[in-house]
Amino acid sequence: MGEEEELPIYAEQVQQNEHGKGICSCCYCVPVHWLRKLAREMHWSFVFGVVIVYGISQGLGGGFARLGTEYYMKEVQKVQPSESQVYLGITNIPWIVKPLWGLLTDVVPILGYRRRPYFILAGFVGVISMLFLSLHKNLHIVYALLLMTAGSAGVAIADVTVDACVAQNSGTHPSLAADMQSLCALSSSIGSLVGFSLSGIFVHLIGPNGVFGLLSIPAGLVLLVGVLLKEPQMPNFAYQQESMGFVMAVGSVGSLLGAVLYQYGLKNHPFRDLLFWTQLLYGLSGMLDLVLVLRLNLQYGIPDYFFVVIDASVSQMIGRLKWMPLLVLSSKLCPPGIEGTFFALLMSIDNAGLMSSSWVGGFLLHILNVTRTRFDNLWLAILIRNFLRIAPLTLLFLVPRADPNASILPDEVTSSKERSEPTVTENVELVSLVKEADD
């Protein structure tokens, strides 16, 4: 009887042990199977990138960086708490301009890739800045602040880039969108837990400078993500609508730079000399289009999109430099009394030139048989256009070589206008044109 009673008890204990082992193995296997599922559906390099950026760079590295920066300001730079708060706010500026990083990753591909180059850039900036902070013990506060801001920018760029990868994969794998966000949150939380737990120990053992040296390791792993990430390469001329809008925006920046350059460096130069060089540069800048059409930029490793951005900014800047002295000259040539009429006449001549250039350009493309699908003779059209841009130099002798700050019109024109102006009375009354009934 005793043996029979012991057998059920022993069997129950075996079942409990097996149940306990099953729970442990289940707790271990479920996350592994989940990660394998994500790696199988979206490639292991994406899962690796999320874990590195969220878990190692932001979570673990963020915990080390926060405490290390506070003690660096206190013990190494020896600044006051109020100043330290201001400096820490400056290092957060790269996180405020995150839309700028997102815009760059979306519309400025490098060598045909939109994500990988920015991971590499973020990792490289982080490694260099952290190593400089670690190896230089007596840095000036300005240089230290610049290096910490650069390190913060590296983390912010990596954050924006991995968010773009998550959003892109959420569109192609909508059923796994929640799983991807869970992976990001878990990686960040676990990394922060480990980072803040160990940060005090490492700051005590190796000091703030040593902690900055350790932070170069997460940055190096981010660089490795850029090397390993699987990303399809974009075709050369795959320009989308937002990409073209960005190109035009960069061209507007070039125009702004041209206006600033004229105001602070060129406005005092004679009209003829300034127009000669700007018109010559305007013609030569058109050769950038010829380089793009003949694909010469690829021989030097310059991507098409990057080259188009450079072309747009340079052309707009030179065009603005050419246009500004013409506007000043036109305003100075207006005779007194008919300023509005004469200036409008000059502007209408310019508008007529733009309209005729559009018509002649269309006719030239038709003659050269350049269509939406045929570009064999496009290089010739660009060459003819560039020659016509330089042709106005033959008429440059008509422009007066005068001081741009002096009057250009003859003295008798301005003096006759002054003599013909009627005397203005001080007291002027408005007289009714309709007589009242009493009158």
**Could you tell me which residue, 78 or 347, shows the higher pLDDT?**
78
**Confidence category of residue 152, pLDDT binned at 50, 70, 90:** very high
Check: CB of residue 30 under 8 Å from CB of residue 165.
Answer: no
Which amino acid makes up residue 114?
R
Phi, psi (rounded to 5 degrees) for 399: -80, 130
Strands (E), 205-282: none
User: What per-residue confidence (pLDDT) applies to 12?
Assistant: 52
- Give the separation between CA 67 and CA 402, rounded to whole angstroms: 65
Contacts of residue 49, defined as CB under 8 A and 6 or more positions apart, other chains included, come to 119, 162, 165, 225, 228, 229
**Residues across the chain:** 439
Q: What is the pLDDT of residue 4?
A: 46
Segment 297-346, tens digit of pLDDT:
888 877 777 788 788 888 888 888 888 888 888 777 777 777 777 777 77
The CA distance from 176 to 170, in Å, is 7
Q: How many helices (H) and strands (E) does the chain have?
A: 18, 0
Contact yes or no for 214/30 (Cβ under 8 A): no
Tokens of residue 181, six digits: 């966000």
Region 43-61 average pLDDT? 91
Q: Taking 90 as the threshold, does the pLDDT of residue 396 lie above it?
A: no
Burial class from Cβ neighbours inside 10 Å (0-12, 13-18, 19+) for residue 39 reads middle
- Asked if the model's pLDDT at residue 120 lies above 80, the reply is yes
Torsion angles phi and psi, residue 104, rounded to 5:
-65, -45
